């Protein structure tokens, strides 16, 4: 009888450990997806920032935009490296590239890069 009880306890423990592992993996995946969405929005914001800065100041060039957690409404910081340069042979075209890292300095950091041509 004692052996049967021990086997049942072992099986219950194995099932509980498996459920816990699955829950932790799902939580990590959900966090990763949230960070990816935030990084996507930040790279779009960096491109818009660069375009607006260039409109108001024709001398505006490269920038590293540091974004505080308070601005994001989160507990993480972010940075966006913005690079502007002429595109192709025509001087009238301008390439703007933004590279975002979010959250900055964490174990799990998402990097997004996007380029537009104006």
Q: Give the pLDDT confidence of 49-90 residue by residue, as tens digits.
A: 999 999 999 899 899 999 999 999 999 999 999 999 988 776
Element (H, E) at 60: none
**CA-to-CA separations, 79 to 22, 32, 64, in angstroms, rounded:** 32, 18, 7
**CA-to-CA separations, 44 to 41, 71, 100, in angstroms, rounded:** 5, 15, 9
Nearest to 109 by CA among 56, 14, 49, 32: 32
Q: Give the pLDDT confidence of 3-60 residue by residue, as tens digits.
A: 999 999 999 999 999 999 999 999 999 999 999 999 999 999 999 999 999 999 989 9
Global pTM reads 0.80
């Amino acid at each position: 009888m004692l052996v049967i009880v021990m086997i049942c306890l072992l099986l219950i423990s194995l099932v509980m450990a498996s459920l816990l592992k699955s829950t932790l993996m799902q939580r990590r995946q959900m966090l990763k997806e949230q960070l990816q969405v935030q990084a996507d929005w930040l790279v779009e914001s960096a491109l818009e920032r660069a375009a607006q800065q260039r409109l108001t100041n024709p001398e505006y060039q490269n920038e590293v935009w540091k974004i505080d957690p308070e601005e994001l409404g989160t507990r993480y910081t972010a940075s966006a490296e913005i690079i502007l340069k002429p595109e192709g042979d025509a001087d009238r075209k301008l390439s703007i590239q933004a590279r975002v890292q979010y959250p900055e300095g964490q174990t799990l950091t998402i990097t997004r890069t996007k380029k537009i041509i104006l």
